[in-house]
Amino acid sequence: MNRLTFGHVAVLATLSLLPTTAFAQADSIEMLAGVEAAAWLAGCWEAASADGQDAAEEQWMAPRGGLMVGMSRSIRGGEARGYELVTIRADAEGRLIYHAEPSGQAPTDFPARSVEDGRLEFVNPDHDFPQKIIYVRMDEDFVHAVVFAKADDADPAFLIPYRRTKCAGR
């Protein structure tokens, strides 16, 4: 007897949506290409003290469907002190938007000021702190997250020197 499993239903439902999905529309293709500019950020990143009691961790999913999804966790003295849920997507004009939801606070959007090979700059001068976030790819295994208090500051409030690490899990 042939039975439809949940997996079959999910595949059929997905296939029924294909004519209306993003890649069927010309302007959405540009958005997908825009998010692809941040693909080098995909993976797991960590900056930790020698004893492991203090750490900053970020994990980014590869671009798919016009969206990157990320999360971060801050550890101080061996205890989790903060977390953040983040997405990078393109808006209707094709500009990348860094959408952050830190530790249960109100969500904030940071539109891209510049997107270059290996460098992403997001700015929101109306936000209290931070107002500017820059990711810089140093090489394949090192990324700096540079955080600025004000959008026009030349000196960062802090810099996180991430190194690529193995993603936890199975």
What confidence tens digit (pLDDT) does each residue in 41-81 have? 999 999 999 998 999 999 999 999 999 999 999 999 999 99
Predicted local confidence at residue 33, as pLDDT? 56
Give the alpha-carbon dihedral of 27, 33, 42, 84, to 10 degrees. Answer: -30
**Domains of the chain and any CATH numbers:** 42-165 (2.40.128.20)
Q: What is the model's pTM?
A: 0.79
Q: Examine the pLDDT at 82 and tell me if it is beyond 70.
A: yes
The percent of residues in the chain predicted with pLDDT above 90, rounded, is: 76
- Is the four-CA dihedral 107, 47, 155, 97 of positive or negative sign? negative
Rounded CA gap, 5 and 133, in Å? 45
